[in-house]
Structure 1
Amino acid sequence: MHKTRLFLQAAILMSLLCAFPFAVRAQTQTWAEVKPIMDRRCVVCHSCYDAPCQLKLTSPMGVLRGASKEAVYHTERLEDVQPTRLGIDAQTVPEWQALGFHTVLRGQDGGLLERYLELGHQNPMPTSAPLPAELGLAINRPLVCPTSNEFDAFSAAHPLAGMPYGTAPLAEAEFQALMGWARSGAVLPPTAPDIPDAILAQVADWEVFLNERDLRSQLMSRYLYEHLFLARLHFRGDDPRRFFQLVRSTTPPGAEIDVIATRRPFDDPGAAPFYYRLQQVTETIVHKEHLVYALGPDRMARYQQLFLDPDWTLTDLPPFGDAEGGNPFSTFMQMPARSRYQFLLDDALFFVRSFIRGPVCHGETAVDVIEDRFWVSFLDPEADLSVTDPSYLQEGAAFLELPVSEADAGVLGSLQGFSHKNQVKYLEFRDARYRAAPVYQTGFDYNSIWDGDGTNTNALITVFRHFDNASAMTGFHGGIPETSWVIDFPIFERIYYDLVAGYDVFGRVEHQLSTRLYMDELRMESEDTFLAFMPRDVRPQIHKHWYQGVLAELHTYWHRRRVDDSFPTGISFQTDQPKQEFLLTLLNRGNGLWPVTDPINRCAAEACQSGLPDDVLRELADQTGEWVKYLPDLSVLAVEQGGGETALFTLVHDKAHYNVAFLFDEEARRDPAADVLTILPGLIGSYPNFYFHVRQDQLAPFVMVLKGVRSQSDYMAAVEQFGVRRTSPEFWPLSDRIHDLFQQQKPIQAGIFDLNRYKDPKSGDDPT
């Protein structure tokens, strides 16, 4: 990473900048003093790839890098572009400027940071009112991204574009602190935080373990790296806010890390020796990319048990590159499939979250392949032929190529052909193998679903979609969902390599679309596996309900999908609601691993008296009604209780669809009359769309007002009574309170929320 070089340059740059005359309005502030303000007022919008103008303020390196006129998210580009990953693709300010970035720090005139702050200070938003019409909040709105020389003309044309953008103003003390820091040279820390000796010793142990030179260890380490390269590695018992990242470095353990920059984790690191290293994460933790994975002696022992203790041999290491990375089944063929599948199952929630919080920070087209809420379970390893029959993957790997394996194909030309060529052949192969297996005589039963081995809560997962992002949690939450998935090893591994390891956010349109189309196939395969557990006579009608409409039927035909009504089920259903019976039975098998009931959304009458506020909120949960469609995708409800306590709830708008079979025109496939609200205690999601703030004695009126909403004007009245607008004086204090509670309740998992999607309710908005 050449951190020493970077911070030496930063120190020189700052000393030069400080030589210019300026007027200091406030006392000089240190980075440590302004960082909490930056995190809560700036990072909430300036983080990840969707940071406006790529101005990522999560670290000193991001401040030094500055801003760019180029957008990372571009759905129409025909060529791959140079990646601009902070800390990877360039190391010094001149290198970043060669990639099109411009400084936001002080030069001969005021720096962009302070000029944006001053513009916001001079032109505050109207208090507790809708934003002026000229201010856009769309995540894909065009951005000007002026340089320092262009800022005067920009500010004259856009006087309301100051920072923080489109919100209540900073408190005067916050404004003066940031301005004092910026005008005194924006001094940044020269070094990363110290690491305790006990943690350094564990880092050293892991680097020894991951860099063993025997062939089996090398292949294991490659497998681990390709699956954990996005992980925030946390040592059990360590400071809850200290994390590390697994990287490939040109330098061995003990030397300064020099990260090898490749587009994807399976790309060739070069001919020179390389080493797996644990690099400390020094950026502010933002929730939308915070994927926690625990390390410790027990984890190392588990890897030994899974990958090194079994009897398998390896004579040559597989090559690197797109073709190999596009088929992990052939790359890692020699490693036991049981070990690889169990590795994924051990931390299934982490990997499902990696599909969501991975390289993508937004994208409606990416997540409209899934329903707004569905339940996920996993085929037990003993029921999965890819695990129990070694010949299955040996013969079937050829059909399991992923789109990235054809990365050099012509633009758009091979998308549909690739999908058919691979997936249709694989489904034919899978069907033939399962028909020839003993399970074809008996069918799958409850034992065919992994139960977490009686100890692992990862066995059942709920996935929520929030329009252009998503979230996941263990257990089954909400009412009985419309769809459910059963994932086996080939599905699990392919989703990971399609959406995470093989996905390039800087790739061209062909890559973006092929990733989405292939995920469409994997969703349908997961649904089909679930249907195999249902009674044969109800499978077609369940599937038809999932894919309503003539176009959806054509989609099913085009993909050559036929609901298999010949494969038997091993379950003797006792009710006429087999989907509900099956899913609730899975919950009851948990022996306390998960709550069997959902006290707010799904609860037997005799067990539903759980006390305020759950009892009151139950009136809103898992119900259809005209009022539901007016709510945003994800709201936070803060309930003030006695003694100064605040209870937090998440209101999730589960939008209903006639089908999720197509990339575009989602509104034409919406069924708002079937929308419901799922209410969860605590916080989920990374992008809250709105805050509601009530006293506990206001809960009943809050519920009554929401259920009475019949128009946008009704919803606006509810917002005025119980909502917290972006422009409200309460906005920032409540946002801080929510972040504080999140960190108190989930000290390891918590991170700064992204407020780019916080809504500005207005009269006439289309709620659907």
Structure 2
Amino acid sequence: MESTEGFLRGATKLNAYDGTRQEPIVPTRLFTDANSEEEWRNAGFYSILSGQNAQASLLYRMLALGKTHQFKDNSKLPEELDISIRRENQCPTVDTISEYEKSYPLTGMPFAVSGLTDDEFSTISGWLYQGAKVSEDQVELNKNEISSIEEWESYLNQTSNQRKLVSRWLYEHLFLAHLYFDDKQDNTHFFELVRSYSPPGEPISIVKTRLPNSEPEHPIYYRLRLVKGITVHKRHITLLFDDKLKKHIEKLFFTDKWDVDILPGYDYEARANPFVTFSAIPAKARYQFLLDHAEYFTRTFIRGPVCRGQIATDVIRDQFWVMYQDPANDLFITDPKYRKKVEPLLGLPGQDDNLTETKENWDKYKDKRNAYLSLRDHHYQDAPLNWTSTKAIWDGGGNNTNAFLTVFRHFDNASVVRGMVGQVPQTLWWMDFPLFERTYYELVVNFDLFGNVAHQLQTRLYFDLIRNGAEHNFLRLLPRDKRKSVLNDWYRGMGVVKTYFTYAPLDIDIRTEETFSSDDIKNELANRLLTQFSQVNAAGNDPINRCQNQHCFRVSQTDWKQKADSRLSRLTNSSFQEKSGLQFLPELTFIRVKHGDERTVYSLIRNRYHSNVAFLFGESLRYKPEKDSLTVYPGIAGSYPNFIFDIETDELEVFEKSLMEAKSEEAFDALVENWGVRRTHPKFWQIFHDFTQWQREQKPIDAGVFDANRYENL
């Protein structure tokens, strides 16, 4: 429904997101795996438009079903109507739609939300009666965009071995990006970097491999293709692709002299170990490029296709800060002999998806990882570097706010924002180049959405090791005799078992260069980071969530927004132990605060507390709701709002007090009746899309349509 081509393609009974299938399925990527309706029909897709007549089409029947069974305005949906993403979906055809209508009368379109008005239903019905003609989206590029495409395609398709290798590395790192050429231009178009069998100047002949590093059948060219359809926020991960970036690439990758006699191939080993594949490219250039765009790369694996569903996301905490090791203090960058020694040990599992060999493959890569960490500890112990100090943390060159990020988990999805947002989290990650690049390749480049359970299981398990490695790096900044107690706090219960049998041993040998004056060492160090790196902390002092005085608001905002900040700030200082209405809040709530003709928005993020995040299953057994916390983010965080509150500024105080005093479900229901926007609200779509409109006004490049698929029935 996001594009003309998808609309015409129709429906399929295949489930792309299936983590239990024993065999991989044929990919069904729009704009890639087929190019015409006929090809999609041959691939098993069927039309939602055609039938004996307009009223027989699937689209009409589903809309008519929704129109027949409309819900009372702003009422709760019936309990028997399952709206979760884990529901058992049905996929009727023209032949089975009558039976479907009888069995599932409440599941018409739009599904489980405010229905179409009479005028809207009449418009679509009339269009269907007239033959449902759909014209392809015609987009006219401006001269700037055409020129930029030509320049970039020329730049990326230079013929020397060094240029070819760098272009391949860039493609594998940017294939998921929505690229744009000018951040000062209205109506910006976005483009994606693709591999094509046809050269620049000719129509793109897309390379249809499963993964971006799978072997093509013929020589390839790197091309820029327009991103079609509606901009959907969950997949909209942007990167500025301008002349400044081109000059930066030139300086990073080609200032130092280096050679490559034979270009690497695309075999098993080349895909599994990018450190060996791209070893000819200066390591400092590769790492610096990741650092300069850390938010983009972190978003690709936190918001990308891999991070969908509870089992995919329960490997991470609900809120944590991410920082990066300075290249000058990373031995992989500074010591060529060490780098050569450890590169073969940095391969990644998941390439071999043979079910019967899953444990054998996993053990092989886990043993390599452990051997690497043993070598790493040994070399760092003797390293002439002041690396166990906050001076070894990348400072963004003094001005790059990619240096510190905050990740939020929203149960079955996650999001990334710049800066150290919220109260000091339970855990912090400190990523070096091997950790950062392995995370990207394991979860983005080498992740096959259409793969089988063996592939997806190995991917998920390795991310568990990545997280633990980033946590261990941070612990090295703490006193040696205090590290174990902090680690035990992160891995309570059965999590302690994994610290002995699966994770690397905790380093208690290398001494930290940091000094401490209190027993609360983790918070003391976190507050030191906030002070030392304030210049590159995009969240600033975050007065809403870390209010140190009476001014719990952003001083740069107008008076009414400051009052809104201050009022919502009270929620962040409240304990979930107090059994307030906070206990009924979902993971991600959007709030629209209106002041006359103006409005602003906030994201209320519920950070659920777990005794550990070390296991695939049994999350509910590790959940400690009384330790939950709340982060109020001024703006948009996340792509899947679970609920919306719509509040006038003069009612904000009453709302906040009502929420804190709502100690029963009945009291919370009354609050929802007053300010909540339920799925059945008569203005649901206008309010829902106004958050996209607000983002277009504030951050037009990042704006996109939000996904209502996880909107709850409060």
Tell me which residue corresponds to 2:557.
none
Contact 1:653 1:675 in 2 (8 A): yes
1:460-471 superposed matches below 5 A: 460-471=404-415
Tell me which residue corresponds to 1:245.
192
The 3-state SS of whatever aligns with 2:481 is: coil
Does residue 96 of the first structure (1) align with residue 40 of the second (2)?
yes
The 3-state SS of whatever aligns with 2:626 is: helix
Tell me which residue corresponds to 2:397.
453
1:120-519 superposed matches below 5 A: 120-190=66-136, 192-236=138-182, 237-270=184-217, 272-360=218-306, 362-408=308-354, 410=356, 412-414=358-360, 416-439=362-385, 444-519=388-463
**Paired letter, 2:547:** C
Tell me which residue corresponds to 2:566.
615
**Paired letter, 2:156:** L
Contact 2:307 2:414 in 1 (8 A): no
Tell me which residue corresponds to 1:21.
none
**Paired letter, 1:577:** D
Tell me which residue corresponds to 2:575.
624
TM-score normalised by L of structure 2? 0.95
**Partners of 1:460 and 1:433 in 2: how far apart?**
27
Structure 1, 405-414 or 463-472: larger mean CA deviation: 405-414
1:679-694 superposed matches below 5 A: 679-694=632-647
**Which residue of 661, 673, 678 maps to 1:725?**
678
**Paired letter, 1:512:** Q
Q: 1:248 to 1:676 in 2, by over 3 A?
A: same
Contact 1:291 1:354 in 2 (8 A): yes
Q: Deviations over 1:559-618 (max 9, x none)?
A: 153322221111122333332232222232345333431121102115436531111111
**Partners of 1:322 and 1:503 in 2: how far apart?**
14
Tell me which residue corresponds to 2:559.
none
1:109-128 superposed matches below 5 A: 109=53, 110-128=56-74
The 3-state SS of whatever aligns with 1:246 is: strand
**Which residue of 587, 603, 611 maps to 1:633?**
587
Contact 2:32 2:208 in 1 (8 A): yes
Does residue 697 of the first structure (1) align with residue 650 of the second (2)?
yes
Q: 1:361 to 1:546 in 2, by over 3 A?
A: closer
**Paired letter, 2:511:** P
Tell me which residue corresponds to 2:510.
567
1:637-648 superposed matches below 5 A: 637-641=591-595, 643-648=596-601
The 3-state SS of whatever aligns with 1:278 is: strand
The 3-state SS of whatever aligns with 1:707 is: helix
Q: Deviations over 1:458-482 (max 9, x none)?
A: 0000000000100011100100100
How far the C-alpha of 1:203 sits from its partner, in A, is: 0.4
Q: Deviations over 1:382-423 (max 9, x none)?
A: 110001111222111111110134345735333541353222
Q: 1:465 to 1:309 in 2, by over 3 A?
A: same
Contact 2:353 2:452 in 1 (8 A): no
The 3-state SS of whatever aligns with 2:604 is: strand
Contact 1:358 1:500 in 2 (8 A): yes
TM-score normalised by L of structure 1? 0.89
The 3-state SS of whatever aligns with 1:67 is: coil
Does residue 737 of the first structure (1) align with residue 693 of the second (2)?
no
Contact 2:399 2:535 in 1 (8 A): no
**Paired letter, 2:270:** E
How far the C-alpha of 1:176 sits from its partner, in A, is: 2.4
Contact 1:250 1:258 in 2 (8 A): yes
**Partners of 1:596 and 1:123 in 2: how far apart?**
49
Tell me which residue corresponds to 2:530.
587
Contact 2:195 2:223 in 1 (8 A): yes
**Partners of 1:296 and 1:132 in 2: how far apart?**
51
How far the C-alpha of 1:443 sits from its partner, in A, is: 5.1
Does residue 753 of the first structure (1) align with residue 706 of the second (2)?
yes
Contact 1:377 1:487 in 2 (8 A): yes
Contact 1:555 1:661 in 2 (8 A): yes
Contact 1:533 1:571 in 2 (8 A): yes
**Which residue of 487, 491, 500 maps to 1:543?**
487
**Paired letter, 1:132:** P
Does residue 650 of the first structure (1) align with residue 603 of the second (2)?
yes
The 3-state SS of whatever aligns with 1:375 is: strand
Structure 1, 604-613 or 488-497: larger mean CA deviation: 604-613
Contact 2:85 2:710 in 1 (8 A): yes
Question: Which 5+ residue runs of structure 1 have no aligned equivalent?
Answer: 1-56, 762-768
Q: Deviations over 1:215-240 (max 9, x none)?
A: 00000000000000010000014444
**Partners of 2:583 and 2:370 in 1: how far apart?**
38
Contact 1:327 1:400 in 2 (8 A): yes
Q: Deviations over 1:12-60 (max 9, x none)?
A: xxxxxxxxxxxxxxxxxxxxxxxxxxxxxxxxxxxxxxxxxxxxx1111
The 3-state SS of whatever aligns with 2:571 is: coil
The 3-state SS of whatever aligns with 1:619 is: helix
The 3-state SS of whatever aligns with 1:426 is: helix
**Paired letter, 1:143:** N
Does residue 558 of the first structure (1) align with residue 504 of the second (2)?
no
The 3-state SS of whatever aligns with 2:449 is: coil
Contact 2:408 2:416 in 1 (8 A): yes
Q: Deviations over 1:298-325 (max 9, x none)?
A: 1111111111222111001001134311
How far the C-alpha of 1:241 sits from its partner, in A, is: 3.5
**Paired letter, 2:532:** R
**Partners of 1:152 and 1:571 in 2: how far apart?**
70
Does residue 601 of the first structure (1) align with residue 550 of the second (2)?
no
Tell me which residue corresponds to 1:662.
615
How far the C-alpha of 1:684 sits from its partner, in A, is: 1.0
Tell me which residue corresponds to 1:672.
625
Q: 1:361 to 1:423 in 2, by over 3 A?
A: closer
Tell me which residue corresponds to 1:40.
none
Structure 1, 454-463 or 152-161: larger mean CA deviation: 152-161
**Paired letter, 2:709:** N
**Paired letter, 1:716:** D
**Partners of 1:514 and 1:755 in 2: how far apart?**
30
Contact 1:375 1:481 in 2 (8 A): yes
Contact 1:399 1:426 in 2 (8 A): yes
Contact 1:266 1:321 in 2 (8 A): no
The 3-state SS of whatever aligns with 1:365 is: helix
Contact 1:105 1:186 in 2 (8 A): yes
Between the aligned residues of both structures, percent identity stands at 40
Q: 1:609 to 1:189 in 2, by over 3 A?
A: closer
**Partners of 1:753 and 1:199 in 2: how far apart?**
27
1:8-27 superposed matches below 5 A: none
Q: Deviations over 1:642-694 (max 9, x none)?
A: x3111211000000010001001101001111101100111110000000111
Contact 1:120 1:161 in 2 (8 A): yes
Contact 2:350 2:454 in 1 (8 A): no
Q: Deviations over 1:322-351 (max 9, x none)?
A: 431111000001111000000100100000
**Paired letter, 2:485:** Q
**Partners of 1:419 and 1:555 in 2: how far apart?**
17
Question: Which 5+ residue runs of structure 2 have no aligned equivalent?
Answer: 555-561
Structure 1, 726-735 or 208-217: larger mean CA deviation: 726-735
Structure 1, 288-297 or 722-731: larger mean CA deviation: 722-731
The 3-state SS of whatever aligns with 2:358 is: coil
